[in-house]
Amino acid sequence: MLAACAAPEREQPAKVQAAAAPSVTASQALTEARVPGRDPAPQLEDRHIDWTLNPTMQTLGKMAENLTDSVYSHGTQVDERRGIYAFDCSGMAYWVLRKASPRAARNVARGLGGRPLARDFQQRLARAPTDKPRDGWSRVVRVEDAAPGDVLAWIKPAIIDSPNTGHVSFIVLPPKRLPGYDNAFLVRIADSTRLLHDNDTRVGRNGFGLGTILLVTDPETGAPEAYGWVGTRYRAFKTAIAIGRPVE
C-alpha cells in the first residue's frame, strides 16, 4: 500500500534539491517575512487550543492528554488506555473520524476497498458542498474561514519524489494571517508525521503531535493553493489542497 503522508524523512533531500525550482509567487513570504522592520510572524500558542469545541477536537484532546508514546507507522495500532498511538497521517485521520464523526469517515472510505489515503481525503473534501453539509462533510473554501476540528488535506506535489499520496491533518487553532501578506496564513495542525513542522511538539520523536505550517492562498478566492511544511522557514509547494468540516 502506498504511504499516505507527503513528507517522510527520506523525502528531505528531494525537497532541498527542488528548492531552486520555480515556486509560487506568494511563497516569497517565506524569505521576505524576515526583512528587518516587518512585523514578526504571529505565534500560535497551544494554551489557546479549546479541545472541547466539537467531537473531533475532543477526540484529539484526549489523545494529546494521555499520550505516552507515538510512532509514525503505515499500520495502525492504538492502545488508548496506555496512551500509545502508531499510525501515519491518513491512518490517524481515519481513526479520529471513526470515533468523532463516523458518517464522515464512512464517506471518505466508500468504495475504496480499504482505509483512505491522503489523496482520498483531498478528493473527497474537494467535492463536498459549501452551502450545506452532505454525507457528513461541508467544504471550507477560504483558509481564513477554517476552524478547529477541520480537516486539511493535499495531494503530493509532482516535484517531490515519493511513493506517498499527500498529507492530511486537523486544524486545531484558527489560521493567523502572516503580517504584511494578504495571502499567507500560519496554521497550527495535529497530525502524524516523521518530518517535523515549525514549533513542533515532537522533539526527539515522531508520530502524533502538533506543528505549524504555512498556507498560501489564491488572492482572489482565498482558497489554499500551496503549503509550507515548516511555516515560514522554507519555500511553499503548490498543489491541490482542500479543507473540509466533518459534521456527523
CA proximity to 107, closest of 90, 96, 94: 94
CA proximity to 60, closest of 97, 88, 15: 97
CB contact at 8 A, 245 and 147? yes
- Give the residue, 1 or 96, on which the prediction is more confident: 96
**Portion of the chain with pLDDT greater than 90, in percent:** 75
The answer, yes or no, to whether residue 6 has pLDDT greater than 80, is no
∠ CA 124-137-117 to the nearest 5 degrees? Answer: 35
The answer, yes or no, to whether residue 9 has pLDDT greater than 90, is no
CB contact at 8 A, 101 and 135? no
Which residues neighbour 175 within 8 Å (Cβ) at sequence distance 6 or greater? 143, 144, 146, 185, 186, 187, 215
Please state, rounded to an integer, the average pLDDT across all residues of the chain. 86
CB contact at 8 A, 105 and 121? no
What nine digits make up the cell of 32?
Answer: 521576505
In the chain the beta strands, taken as DSSP E runs, fall at 69-72, 77-79, 84-87, 137-140, 151-155, 166-171, 176-177, 184-193, 207-217, 224-228, 237-238, 241-246
pLDDT score recorded for residue 209: 98
Binned at pLDDT 50, 70 and 90, residue 147 comes out as very high
pLDDT score recorded for residue 182: 87
Q: Which residue has the cell 520555480?
A: 22
Q: Give the HSE-up count for residue 130: Cα atoms under 13 Å, Cβ half-sphere.
A: 9
Integer-rounded Cα Rg, in Å, for the chain is 17
The answer, yes or no, to whether residue 56 has pLDDT greater than 90, is yes
Q: What pLDDT, in 10s, does the model give residues 69-112? A: 999 999 999 999 999 999 999 999 999 999 999 999 999 999 99
CB contact at 8 A, 5 and 192? yes
Helix (H, G, I), strand (E, B) or coil at 67: coil
What nine digits make up the cell of 234?
Answer: 522554507
Q: What is the pTM of this model?
A: 0.86
